[in-house]
Structure 1
Amino acid sequence: MHFLYPIGLLALAGLIVPLIIHLWNVKQGKTVKIGSIALLGESSRASSKSFKINDWFLLLLRCLLLALLALLLAQPYLKKIVPGNSNKGWILVDKRAIQQVFKTHQKTIDSLLKKGYEIHDFNVGFKPLTLKDTVLNETQQVNTLSYTALLSAANHFVPAGATVYLFVDRRLNRFGNELPTVTYKLKYIPLNQTDTTSSWIASYAGKKYEAKSNPSNTTYQALNSADEVPINIAIHEASGIADGKYLIAALKTIGSFTKRKIIINAAAEKATIGFWLSDDPVSSVFKSSIAAGGSLFQYEKGKVITIPSAINLYGRRIKLSKRVVSNNQSEKIWTDDFGDAILTNEKANDLNIFHFYSRFNPQWSELVWDGVFVKALIPMVIQDKTASDFGFQDHPNDQRRLSVRQNNVFQFNKAELSTKSTQNERLGTLFWIAALLIFVTERILSFRKKPNYVKS
């Protein structure tokens, strides 16, 4: 037996009340005067108290009644094991591909249908399908949700512990970054597909790429490298600070990766972004060296705290040893484990200003040693207001597919739960009935009890 509110059991302390009443029950004798000795006068009155329990059964009923009331406050319930339906399961298939599925896996599907399996559309709502749905509906809306999202949503539709056969293709762009946790047994049956290729033009930060994709890989070729404008970067580093070398190494990596020409501290040209690596306030001369609409990355000065924490970037936790206390209400870009700002962003005086509440020094954090440092700088160095992230992996024409050798890995990452589930059964009604019966019994015994008189 379990309790929804165990704190209600504190009411069991009330059991001491009927015990005290029974122990302190005073037996008061009745004086009877007799005429023949009336002239002798009244004798001195005497009373007695008995601490002896005379009615154990009545005491037990009263204690039991209080105990039941205390248990009712705690709301008792039982956990019952409910076996799942092991004979029936689901067949999930995209309605638009149902013709192909029946053509290539007809024997498997017929066998499953004879066992009581149901066919459902692998789409929002998971509507039931029949053999008549093998006729392709050209007006059906294309499913744009990822397989990960649909499999997670199926947890609310598929009976817990049931077996599900999923007939879908191997396209990687249909899967999310993480495999879902499911409450049913999933058997992934990939569809056979012919090798296809596709190409498209992708753009990022004013640079165009020709993408070519096939089932094994996707490649990108820059188209207008000769027409690209160099990226000018200004760096100011205070004396005694060696943080600039880590920044310069990251900028060279960005240039090598993106094939963009990066010029540091060009004398004649205004900078696209300026890095102020100093505790001193940013000088007006340095601000004027940044082009209008450009960016300024500056160290913030303030109270330094040394609480061990981590910077959270792109799903990674990077050790953070020291940071500056932030009172800035600007948009948080990077945060630590406590949700405090490490990097904020605001627009001011025609500049995009990044306030950094740490340092590139390894004594402050391990950011400069992590490969995510370069990835985190790219959106600031190569600005593109239309791109949500750097890369082109989510394009709908991407033809890459899951390898056959990865099929088992895909299945083992699914959480297959037991065919048994638990169900809570409340016991409140039974306890109320028992309490009522005990209360009635206790009242009947109390009224039938005859008073004891002491004659003298």
Structure 2
Amino acid sequence: MFFLNPSFLWALLGLVVPVAIHLWSKKEGKTIKVGSIKFLQESDSQKSSSIKLNEFWLLLLRMLLITILVFILAEPRLHYKTENSPITYLVEKSLLSSSEVKTLTDSLNNTVEVRFLETDFPEYEPEIVKDTFSETPNYWKLAREAETLKTDSIVVFTNAFVSGIKGKRPEISKNIHWINLNPGTVKTNLVGAIKRGEEIERISVISDTEEFKFQKEKQNLSTSEIETEFVNIPVVELDTLRVQIYSEEEFRSENKYIKASFLALGKYLEQPIEIINFEEENFNSNSGEILIWLSEEPSPKTEGKVVKFRRDSLANSIIEPGNFENEYHLTGQLNSENIVEEHLAEQLLEMFNLYTEINKEAEKYDFRVMNLALLKPNFGEASESTKNRNGRDISKYLWILLSILILSERALSRYRKQ
């Protein structure tokens, strides 16, 4: 048996308390009944003391109670032996679209343990593998979880997609061998469309192991043709984007450069952008439009996104996120140089957050591949805390024993009048 939190065993020093109480307990003195004290003479009292345990069985019960409670806090575990499989193969489900990989995996499944590279590592079953398209797994998260597998060796068949690398590189104690079986083919997938009146612009992504780019193609389609062709594909119908600008006299240059940037964006996106200059008293706070606030005064509350002027010489970019959601800061004054060097128009474009559905669909088809040397987690020795997690928890049995001992102690105390 071992303990996950052995430091709690210091609490066993509390066993001294019931022992001391039982040592100090005084026995009732003997009472001698006499008919008269007439012939009794006064004498000096004699005192004697001795150390003797009283109520031994009650003391034993109380010491057991403290011991069991301390053991529960220390989280006891029993050692038990488990047979590890010699090797386990983890297969990324999207690889099974390749007949060669499918054949290899089926043959391995007849002799060794094969599981899917996804949460909980379900066992590989050839007959239920139909839809091989799935989201790219989080490789580093699953590498940490793979340490719980009862196996001596792990081999991972993977696509090694860049999109599967998220978070901080982990350190694991199991040596995992990664094998890249990505076929490296160039794929073109339709991810959405942008509708401008009767004209529709098809958006496709072209991706391989090194590139990920968009392709646009304009067509004239009727509404019925659009509904037929773009089933389960997002279609965005363009609407006029409105921008409200409040500018004080000292910010005339900033007003001019921001307007020019929005007009350039409208031309590039082929989307109408309406720019509205307003006086402070005419501002509509219920509008969801973008607000550009070029003033040192506090901006009014609005339901839409707002860009406030807040000078910050230590800022990394000309526009930075603010303290709240949908709040941005213009961190300095604008001129003809920094609007180009700091990419003002591109930063304003990010605020619009256009085509989120199309971008989300496009992420599924990012087939860029990472070098395996960069993909692998760091290797390190297993920590003691990780090793100690293996074992059978016996706390629930100790809770039952504790309940029985409490009832027994109370019953014996009542019987012995303690």
Separation in 2, partners of 1:434, 1:343: 56
Q: How far off its partner does 1:145 sit? A: 3.0
Q: How far off its partner does 1:190 sit? A: 1.6
Q: Residues 32 and 199 from structure 1, CA distance in 2 versus in 1: closer, same or farther, beyond 3 angstroms?
A: closer
Q: How far off its partner does 1:274 sit? A: 5.3
- In the TM superposition, what whole-angstrom CA distance separates every residue of 1:350-399 from its partner, at most 9, and x where no partner exists? xxxxxx4x753469xxxx9xx89977743544x64x52486875153x4x
Q: How far off its partner does 1:28 sit? A: 4.2
Amino acid at match of 1:100: E
Q: Residues 3 and 129 from structure 1, CA distance in 2 versus in 1: closer, same or farther, beyond 3 angstroms?
A: closer
Tell me the secondary structure at the aligned position of residue 422 of structure 1: coil
Residues 208 and 222 in structure 1, CA contact (< 8 A), matched pair in contact too: yes
Please, which runs of 5 or more residues in structure 2 have no aligned partner? 219-237, 301-313, 316-320, 334-338
Q: Residues 80 and 241 from structure 1, CA distance in 2 versus in 1: closer, same or farther, beyond 3 angstroms?
A: farther
Which of these residues, 109, 113, 121, is aligned with residue 118 of structure 1? 113
Which of these residues, 365, 372, 396, is aligned with residue 407 of structure 1? 372
Residues 168 and 190 in structure 1, CA contact (< 8 A), matched pair in contact too: yes
CA root-mean-square deviation: 6.2
Report matched runs for 1:203-214 at 5 Å: 203=193, 209=203, 211-214=205-208
**Which residue pairs with 2:214 in the alignment?**
220
Residues 212 and 220 in structure 1, CA contact (< 8 A), matched pair in contact too: yes
Q: How far off its partner does 1:61 sit? A: 6.6
Which of these residues, 415, 422, 434, is aligned with residue 390 of structure 2? 422
**Which residue pairs with 2:330 in the alignment?**
360
Q: Residues 157 and 214 from structure 1, CA distance in 2 versus in 1: closer, same or farther, beyond 3 angstroms?
A: closer
Q: Does structure 1 residue 43 correspond to structure 2 residue 41?
A: yes
**Which residue pairs with 2:90 in the alignment?**
92
Q: Residues 203 and 177 from structure 1, CA distance in 2 versus in 1: closer, same or farther, beyond 3 angstroms?
A: farther
Q: How far off its partner does 1:229 sit? A: 10
**Which residue pairs with 1:15 in the alignment?**
17
Q: How far off its partner does 1:407 sit? A: 0.5
Q: How far off its partner does 1:301 sit? A: 3.8
Q: Does structure 1 residue 237 correspond to structure 2 residue 247?
A: yes
Q: Residues 402 and 82 from structure 1, CA distance in 2 versus in 1: closer, same or farther, beyond 3 angstroms?
A: farther
Q: How far off its partner does 1:157 sit? A: 11
**Which residue pairs with 1:196 in the alignment?**
186
Q: What percent of counterpart residues are identical?
A: 11
Residues 69 and 435 in structure 1, CA contact (< 8 A), matched pair in contact too: yes
Q: How far off its partner does 1:89 sit? A: 3.4
Tell me the secondary structure at the aligned position of residue 17 of structure 2: helix
Normalised by the length of structure 1, the TM-score is: 0.52
**Which residue pairs with 1:328 in the alignment?**
none
**Which residue pairs with 1:282 in the alignment?**
280
Q: Residues 8 and 43 from structure 1, CA distance in 2 versus in 1: closer, same or farther, beyond 3 angstroms?
A: same
**Which residue pairs with 1:53 in the alignment?**
50
Residues 115 and 123 in structure 2, CA contact (< 8 A), matched pair in contact too: yes
Q: How far off its partner does 1:401 sit? A: 3.3
Q: Residues 91 and 158 from structure 1, CA distance in 2 versus in 1: closer, same or farther, beyond 3 angstroms?
A: farther
Q: How far off its partner does 1:271 sit? A: 5.8
Report matched runs for 1:131-170 at 5 Å: 133=126, 140-148=130-138, 152=142, 155=145, 159=149, 162-170=152-160
Amino acid at match of 1:120: R
Q: Residues 49 and 376 from structure 1, CA distance in 2 versus in 1: closer, same or farther, beyond 3 angstroms?
A: farther
- In the TM superposition, what whole-angstrom CA distance separates every residue of 1:82-118 from its partner, at most 9, and x where no partner exists? 6765543322334845841376689xx76x976xx31
Amino acid at match of 2:90: L
Q: Residues 275 and 122 from structure 1, CA distance in 2 versus in 1: closer, same or farther, beyond 3 angstroms?
A: farther
- Greater helix content: 2
Report matched runs for 1:250-261 at 5 Å: 252=261, 255=264, 259-260=268-269
Residues 157 and 180 in structure 2, CA contact (< 8 A), matched pair in contact too: yes
Q: Residues 431 and 127 from structure 1, CA distance in 2 versus in 1: closer, same or farther, beyond 3 angstroms?
A: closer
- Greater strand content: 1
How many matched pairs? 351
Residues 192 and 202 in structure 2, CA contact (< 8 A), matched pair in contact too: yes
